[in-house]
Amino acid sequence: MNEPAITDMAALVELLVEDVLPALPSRYAFVGHSMGALLAFEFACRLTELGHAPPVHMFVAACSSPSWRTSASELHRLSDPELLAYLRELNGTPRELLENDELMALVLPTLRADLTATETYVHAPGRRVTAGVSALHGRNDVSVSREAMLAWREVVNGTFSYHEFRGDHFFVLQDEADVLDVICATVRER
């Protein structure tokens, strides 16, 4: 809570390089949901640039492909009440948290910084990850289309698969057992 919020994807990646790379095993996989998928993509690309082995596989959930930017989203510019309404619509934040004004006052700046990092991210043309990728998607996700998830194949040097689940943007919580089955089965194959 005492650290400044980071609003730049490249800066976040460099912090991961600094903090995570020293502890990263030679074989690993990434699972990223929403912003985490985009961050995992950039982190994996950066690790490869640094000469580290790429992940054996990546699971990207509820996030448009880095190459799929149809229009600039402005969620990070919403007023606090508008942002809270959006969070309610996404259906992933507990009602008790959304109704706690003191806690939301602490959380909203970080959430806004994350949205800024995601919404101002620009994919470098031709940037691809050297790993197999599984795109995981909730069939009722109103924030990410099926086409945007399928576009992940455009940034992959490796195998690509698409898996659809019951639920919305937070299908990973709503259909947890099936999501874990796909992740475990895929990792076992690697």
Domain chopping of the chain, boundaries: 48-69+132-190, 72-121
Instruction: Supply the DSSP string of 118-159, one letter for each residue.
Output: HHT--PPTT--BSSEEEEEEETT-SSS-HHHHHGGGGGBSS-
Could you confirm whether 34 is annotated as catalytic?
yes
User: What is the per-residue pLDDT across 86-127, written as a single tens digit (0 to 9) for each?
Assistant: 888 877 788 898 889 999 988 899 999 999 999 999 999 999
Instruction: For residue range 172-190, list pLDDT tens digits in order.
Output: 998 999 999 999 999 999 8
Task: Indicate yes or no: pTM above 0.85.
Answer: yes
Q: How confident is the model at residue 32 (pLDDT cuts 50, 70, 90)?
A: very high
Among candidate residues 34, 64, 65, 134, the one labeled active-site is 34
What is the structure's pLDDT at 112? Answer: 92
